[in-house]
Amino acid sequence: MATQADAQELAALRALSASIGLNPHMTQAAGGNTSLKAGDTLWIKASGTWLKDALRDDIMVPVAMAPLLEA
């Protein structure tokens, strides 16, 4: 279950991702990857998306960690 703190952390990740992505001295091409563990969810930058677009577009994909840990 997502909490208010999780939502705030995701918003901070998106802001940081966009900031990094807008700086050509810190990135190449799409800018790399960013991620966040929040509760039982891992938020990962989707393949084929650009960090600089993190505030404009929904580029973070939620992945439930429990099935991954059980595998």
Q: What is the pLDDT of residues 36-45, one digit of tens each?
A: 999 899 999 9
Q: What is the pLDDT of residue 29?
A: 77
Q: What is the pTM of this model?
A: 0.84
Confirm if 46 and 61 have CB atoms less than 8 A apart.
Answer: yes
